[in-house]
Chains A and B, each alone.
Chain A
Amino acid sequence: MEAKLSSDLLRGHTDTIVLGSLLKQDRYGFEIYSRILERTGEQYELKETTLYSSYKRLERDGYVSSYWGDETQGARRRYYRITEEGRRLYRQNKIDLEFTQKIINDLLKEDETE
């Protein structure tokens, strides 16, 4: 059987994915978007508005901050920077996710052996 990527499952972790892509450097919307596309082999049918909602939500709650880049030519880009609270949330979410993954794995294993 061929494995398919569950977009619904991924969408629930949009905030964490966004935070993760900001850990090393500030990025703007398109960078974050194309990074996700690359890493999922363009399989994830992510809508850009899902990301925009995520930026707005994260910014409102103080997990990221944003600023306009100083592009000398072309349109301005809006960059996002992760805050300390954002890093904390990322780590917490990652721990929670790993824990949940483990539980799910255990649960599914149990079901198959029964």
Chain B
Amino acid sequence: MNTRQHIEELFSGYEETAALADFKEEMESNLNDRIAVLKKKGLDEQTAFSKAITELGDVSALADDLSLKRRQEVFSDMYMKTRSYIRSGRMALYVLCGAVIGFGLVVGAVAWTYSGAAHSFLGTVSVFCGAGVLGFVFLGLTQETAAREAMPWKRALWYVLSSGAALFGVFASAVTYFTDSVGLPEALATLIPFFLPGLALGVFLALTEKDRSKPWVVEFRKKAVEREMERFAGPAQQERFGLICGALWIAAVAVFVLLVLLVGIKFSWLAFVAALIAQMLVLSAFTKESGEK
């Protein structure tokens, strides 16, 4: 293993900041010098490397310091001055996308009124609204927010491709359906070759997505989970609570269906309200138990 790799591994859990990157570079050159000296003394490559690594000691405190600074910065950004993450250039693009969609809708409506055909509306809308929506997808994904880092634009483009294919499928099938009045099977046949690959690509992207939450969000989430754990006496308790709730909601759906059949939709929704109340009661029962311990 080379020193660079080792250092990267040491700091893999830390957010890369300029200070940390600087420090890693400094460490690397020092470590390499040390290894060179040890080798000159007659140690072989591997022994020299592991000796130099042992001499290094524990880097976590330093890394915390170098990387935490940024965390605090972000944290204070979040709470002290709700700073705007949208620069004016991007703002203009957002507005432009909105305008394109609005324009498409208006022109489509006008076209519909004059021609009286649904497909003229659909055709206009699909071009303009499609472009606008895809623009929003791209802008939204590459947007840094208070809680999330921006996605790299290349990856965002894949998302645009995925949603573009799916959208095209939807519009094309709608146009096929209304224009040629060929019936549902043909419309579906138009839909599937575009929509499914688009969906598949989207699912693939979503599954391979990494967490872009900012450090303070990760921290916050961790704390929330911890608080959640504290509420229960232990993991087993929590699991039991989960099982009971699952059973409760399945029962609620069953009762809902039954009530729809028996008394109609007017009162059947009460089943869900009852389930919600029951869940709260169960939760309170569980919480009390753990509190007494």
Write the chain B residue with the least CB distance to A37: B55
Do the beta carbons of A34 and B37 come within 8 Å of each other?
A: yes
A interface, size bucket: 10 to 19
Residues of B within 8 A of A75 (CB): 25, 28-29, 32
Does more than half of chain A's interface fall in helix, strand or loop, or is it mixed? helix
The answer to whether the Cβ of B27 comes within 8 Å of any Cβ in the partner chain is yes
Report which residue of A30, A46, A47, A50 has the largest number of chain B beta carbons within 10 angstroms of its beta carbon: A30
Count contacts between A and B, CB distance < 8 Å.
55
Point out the residue from B26, B32, B37, B62 that lies within 8 Å of A78, measured CB to CB.
B26
B181 within 8 A of A: no
A29-B30, A75-B28, A77-B29 known; A47 and B55 CB under 8 Å? yes
Q: Does A6 contact B (CB under 8 A)?
A: no
Residues of B within 8 A of A76 (CB): 25, 29
CB pair B62–A52 under 8 Å, yes or no, is yes
* B206 CB contacts on chain A under 8 angstroms: none
* Alpha-carbon distance between A48 and B69 when the two chains are bound, in angstroms: 22
Cα separation A9 to B23 with both chains bound (whole Å): 27
| Complex CA distance for A25 and B56, rounded to whole angstroms | 24
A47 touches B29 (CB 8 A): no
The answer to whether B37 touches A48, judged by C-beta atoms less than 8 angstroms apart, is no
- Is B34 interfacial (CB 8 A cutoff)? yes
Complex interface bits, A8-38 against B, C-beta within 8 A gives 1, otherwise 0:
0000000000000000000011100110000
| 8 A Cβ contacts from B10-43 to A | 22-23, 25-30, 32-34, 37
In contact, B26 and A53 (Cβ under 8 angstroms): no
Chain B residues in 8 Å Cβ range of A113: none
In the complex, whether B261 has a CB less than 8 A from a CB of chain A is no
Known pairs A28-B29, A56-B66, A75-B29; list 6 more (Cβ under 8 Å).
A34-B37, A47-B55, A47-B57, A52-B59, A74-B32, A75-B25
Interface of B with A (CB < 8 Å)? 22-23, 25-30, 32-34, 37, 55-59, 61-62, 65-66
